[in-house]
Amino acid sequence: MMDIADRPEIAPELRLVPHAFRRTFGRPAEGVWYAPGVLNLLGGKVKVHAKWGAIVAGDRRDDGRLELVSVNRPTERALLPSDEIPAWAAPVAGCVGGATLMCSVDLPQGSGLSAGEVLRTAVGLALRDLAGTTYEEPPAVELDLPGQRLLVVDTRVRREEPQEELPYTGSIDDLGAALTAYHRAQDPDPEQDAVVFAALAAGARGASMLVDPPGRPAVVLVDADLVPAVKRAITKAVELPPRYLTIAPAAFRTAALR
């Protein structure tokens, strides 16, 4: 059977990680797994998938331990269970099963798309197939928002202090209004407030803070033709130039190749 890293019909980004696995361990990966990014709106009441996410490739181990290596931090390996875990692997500290996995995450933690949750999902899928563990994929929704976009704003602010949030109990019939109501019920950091107020003033349908530690990101619901103007307004209102990701809500699926 041809190594996954060499199969031309597979997307290049899915071949990259098994190629790194082969280069590191000197053997082909048994499979490759992908999980899309997760945008947790209204404190997680609504979960939306984005195309940026996590990819893991690897094979099974017979000793029941979980070995993790990062494409971006190859010297910071994790062998679980352990009391000493590198920060990038902390989200999967509770995962169990015998496997060696090479991991790649598109976005840094705290940028707004729940990088830790996404890595945990991809590792969970791999362990389900390799080690026979039980794993239930987190639910997500496909929003019907014609002509609208979700603008994820990474303020690039990182703080170790936990950010508390109150659960959202209102209606989500009007997502824009729900986002703004959710934000007003929270205790956002000044950078998140600045993003929300600037976006609303520029004509956004709604906006709110996002809880994605250690970052202080925000999300904006905006008509597609207003995205450039809203970006300009936000950039002008904050001290650090933010990083933006624009999502056209659609259905994205996890994937496994073996």
Residue 178 and residue 225 in one domain: yes
> How confident is residue 254, by pLDDT bands cut at 50, 70 and 90?
low
Ranges 2-6, 139-143, 200-204: which has the least confidence: 139-143
* Beta pairing partners, 36: 53
Residue 167 and residue 60 in one domain: no
Rounded CA-CA distance 194/196 in Å is 6
Ranges 6-20, 39-53, 88-102, 110-124: which has the least confidence: 6-20
Residue 76 and residue 126 in one domain: yes
Residue 107 and residue 167 in one domain: no
Rounded CA-CA distance 185/197 in Å is 14
Residue 125 and residue 161 in one domain: no
Q: Supply the range of the domain harboring residue 27.
A: 4-139+251-257
pLDDT of residue 251: 54
pLDDT of residue 109: 87
Residue 159 and residue 207 in one domain: yes
Question: Is 60 exceeded by the pLDDT of residue 108?
Answer: yes
Mean pLDDT of 80-104: 91
Mean pLDDT of 222-238: 97
pLDDT of residue 145: 86
> How confident is residue 2, by pLDDT bands cut at 50, 70 and 90?
low
- Residue percentage of the chain with pLDDT more than 70: 93
pLDDT of residue 216: 97
Q: What is the pLDDT of residues 176-198, one digit of tens each?
A: 999 999 999 999 999 999 999 99
Residue 180 and residue 233 in one domain: yes
Residue 124 and residue 200 in one domain: no
pLDDT of residue 253: 60
Residue 115 and residue 152 in one domain: no
- Residue percentage of the chain with pLDDT more than 90: 66
* Degrees, nearest 5: CA angle 119-120-126: 90
Residue 29 and residue 123 in one domain: yes
Task: Give the CATH number of the domain where residue 207 resides.
Answer: 3.30.70.890
pLDDT of residue 258: 66
pLDDT of residue 141: 67
> How confident is residue 149, by pLDDT bands cut at 50, 70 and 90?
very high
Number of domains within the chain: 2
Q: What is the pLDDT of residues 8-52, one digit of tens each?
A: 777 777 788 999 999 999 999 999 999 988 899 999 889 888 888
- Rounded to two decimals, what is the model's pTM? 0.86
Task: Give the CATH number of the domain where residue 38 resides.
Answer: 3.30.230.10
pLDDT of residue 50: 86
Instruction: List Cα–Cα distances, 194 to 31, 41, 242, 243, in angstroms.
Output: 44, 18, 12, 15
